[in-house]
Homo-oligomer: A and B are copies of this chain.
Amino acid sequence: MRLAIVREPIDVERLRREVERDDFGGVTVFVGVVRCRDDDGRSVTGLSYEAFEPMAIAAFEAIAGEARERWSGVALAIEHRIGDLSVGEVAVAVAAAAVHREAAFAACRYAIDQLKQRAPIWKKERYADGSGRWKENACGR
Protein backbone atom coordinates (compact mmCIF):
# COMPACT_ATOMS: atom_id res chain seq x y z
CA MET A 1 0.00 0.00 0.00
CA ARG A 2 1.35 3.41 -0.98
CA LEU A 3 1.98 5.73 2.00
CA ALA A 4 4.29 8.50 0.90
CA ILE A 5 5.62 12.01 1.21
CA VAL A 6 6.45 13.37 -2.25
CA ARG A 7 8.02 16.46 -3.75
CA GLU A 8 6.42 16.19 -7.17
CA PRO A 9 2.74 16.65 -8.16
CA ILE A 10 0.50 13.90 -6.82
CA ASP A 11 -0.96 11.52 -9.38
CA VAL A 12 -4.45 11.08 -7.90
CA GLU A 13 -5.56 8.57 -10.49
CA ARG A 14 -2.56 6.36 -9.75
CA LEU A 15 -3.32 6.49 -6.03
CA ARG A 16 -6.89 5.41 -6.69
CA ARG A 17 -5.64 2.45 -8.71
CA GLU A 18 -3.31 1.48 -5.84
CA VAL A 19 -6.23 0.44 -3.68
CA GLU A 20 -8.22 -1.45 -6.33
CA ARG A 21 -9.06 -5.09 -5.77
CA ASP A 22 -11.38 -7.41 -7.67
CA ASP A 23 -13.74 -7.85 -4.75
CA PHE A 24 -13.94 -4.14 -3.85
CA GLY A 25 -17.01 -2.29 -5.07
CA GLY A 26 -16.30 1.22 -3.77
CA VAL A 27 -13.38 3.63 -3.70
CA THR A 28 -13.52 7.01 -1.97
CA VAL A 29 -10.79 9.52 -2.73
CA PHE A 30 -10.23 12.76 -0.88
CA VAL A 31 -8.04 15.44 -2.36
CA GLY A 32 -6.90 18.51 -0.43
CA VAL A 33 -6.20 21.44 -2.72
CA VAL A 34 -4.43 24.77 -2.13
CA ARG A 35 -7.13 27.42 -2.14
CA CYS A 36 -6.83 31.10 -2.98
CA ARG A 37 -8.25 32.40 0.32
CA ASP A 38 -7.83 31.43 3.93
CA ASP A 39 -10.62 31.23 6.49
CA ASP A 40 -10.12 34.88 7.37
CA GLY A 41 -10.72 35.83 3.75
CA ARG A 42 -7.09 36.75 3.18
CA SER A 43 -5.76 36.19 -0.31
CA VAL A 44 -3.24 33.33 -0.48
CA THR A 45 -0.72 32.89 -3.28
CA GLY A 46 0.42 29.44 -2.21
CA LEU A 47 1.38 27.10 0.61
CA SER A 48 4.78 25.80 1.64
CA TYR A 49 4.74 22.39 3.29
CA GLU A 50 7.44 20.60 5.23
CA ALA A 51 7.42 17.25 7.01
CA PHE A 52 9.48 15.17 9.37
CA GLU A 53 9.35 12.34 6.91
CA PRO A 54 10.10 9.20 8.92
CA MET A 55 7.59 10.15 11.61
CA ALA A 56 5.04 11.25 8.99
CA ILE A 57 5.26 7.89 7.23
CA ALA A 58 5.01 6.12 10.58
CA ALA A 59 1.86 8.15 11.30
CA PHE A 60 0.39 7.16 7.92
CA GLU A 61 1.15 3.51 8.68
CA ALA A 62 -0.49 3.71 12.08
CA ILE A 63 -3.58 5.39 10.63
CA ALA A 64 -3.85 2.84 7.81
CA GLY A 65 -3.52 0.00 10.33
CA GLU A 66 -6.24 1.48 12.53
CA ALA A 67 -8.55 1.88 9.54
CA ARG A 68 -7.94 -1.69 8.39
CA GLU A 69 -8.85 -2.95 11.83
CA ARG A 70 -11.88 -0.73 12.27
CA TRP A 71 -13.34 -1.29 8.78
CA SER A 72 -12.29 -4.83 8.25
CA GLY A 73 -10.07 -5.29 5.23
CA VAL A 74 -10.28 -1.75 3.87
CA ALA A 75 -7.32 -0.70 1.69
CA LEU A 76 -5.84 2.76 2.18
CA ALA A 77 -3.26 4.82 0.30
CA ILE A 78 -2.02 8.24 1.38
CA GLU A 79 0.23 10.70 -0.39
CA HIS A 80 1.21 14.14 0.91
CA ARG A 81 3.23 16.60 -1.08
CA ILE A 82 5.80 18.95 0.47
CA GLY A 83 7.59 22.03 -0.86
CA ASP A 84 6.06 25.12 -2.44
CA LEU A 85 2.59 24.64 -3.90
CA SER A 86 0.47 27.06 -5.89
CA VAL A 87 -3.26 27.65 -5.72
CA GLY A 88 -5.13 24.73 -7.26
CA GLU A 89 -2.38 22.17 -6.65
CA VAL A 90 -3.08 18.96 -4.76
CA ALA A 91 -1.41 18.91 -1.33
CA VAL A 92 -2.75 15.59 -0.09
CA ALA A 93 -4.68 12.65 -1.48
CA VAL A 94 -6.24 9.74 0.42
CA ALA A 95 -7.80 6.74 -1.33
CA ALA A 96 -9.83 4.11 0.53
CA ALA A 97 -11.36 1.04 -1.06
CA ALA A 98 -13.70 -1.57 0.38
CA VAL A 99 -16.34 -4.08 -0.57
CA HIS A 100 -19.08 -1.52 0.12
CA ARG A 101 -19.15 2.26 0.03
CA GLU A 102 -19.92 2.79 3.72
CA ALA A 103 -16.49 1.53 4.74
CA ALA A 104 -14.74 3.33 1.88
CA PHE A 105 -16.25 6.67 2.93
CA ALA A 106 -15.66 6.13 6.64
CA ALA A 107 -12.03 5.01 6.27
CA CYS A 108 -11.20 7.84 3.89
CA ARG A 109 -12.67 10.40 6.25
CA TYR A 110 -10.93 8.84 9.23
CA ALA A 111 -7.58 8.91 7.47
CA ILE A 112 -7.67 12.57 6.45
CA ASP A 113 -8.98 13.64 9.87
CA GLN A 114 -6.26 11.70 11.69
CA LEU A 115 -3.56 12.85 9.27
CA LYS A 116 -4.42 16.46 9.99
CA GLN A 117 -4.23 15.85 13.73
CA ARG A 118 -1.25 13.57 14.01
CA ALA A 119 1.15 13.63 11.08
CA PRO A 120 4.22 15.84 11.61
CA ILE A 121 3.60 18.03 8.59
CA TRP A 122 3.50 21.82 8.62
CA LYS A 123 2.25 24.48 6.25
CA LYS A 124 2.99 28.14 5.82
CA GLU A 125 0.55 30.33 3.97
CA ARG A 126 2.17 32.72 1.55
CA TYR A 127 0.61 36.10 0.78
CA ALA A 128 0.89 38.51 -2.14
CA ASP A 129 3.02 40.96 -0.12
CA GLY A 130 5.69 38.30 0.34
CA SER A 131 4.87 37.60 3.97
CA GLY A 132 3.79 34.25 5.33
CA ARG A 133 2.25 32.60 8.35
CA TRP A 134 2.41 29.09 9.82
CA LYS A 135 -1.08 27.63 10.00
CA GLU A 136 -1.96 25.05 12.61
CA ASN A 137 -4.81 22.63 12.24
CA ALA A 138 -7.53 22.55 14.83
CA CYS A 139 -6.36 19.79 17.22
CA GLY A 140 -2.95 19.94 15.57
CA ARG A 141 -1.10 20.02 18.92
Residues of A whose CB lies within 8 Å of any CB of B are 12-13, 16, 20, 22-37, 87-88, 99, 101, 104-105, 108-109, 112
Contact = CB atoms under 8 A, between A and B. Distances in A.
A36 B23 contact: yes
Contacts of A35: 22-25, 99
List 4 tightest A-B contacts by C-beta distance, closest first: A22-B36, A25-B35, A29-B29, A27-B31
Contact of A112 (B29, B31, B101): B101
In the complex this chain forms, how many copies of it are found? 2
A33 B29 CA distance: 13
Nearest to A102: B109
A71 to B, nearest CB: 15
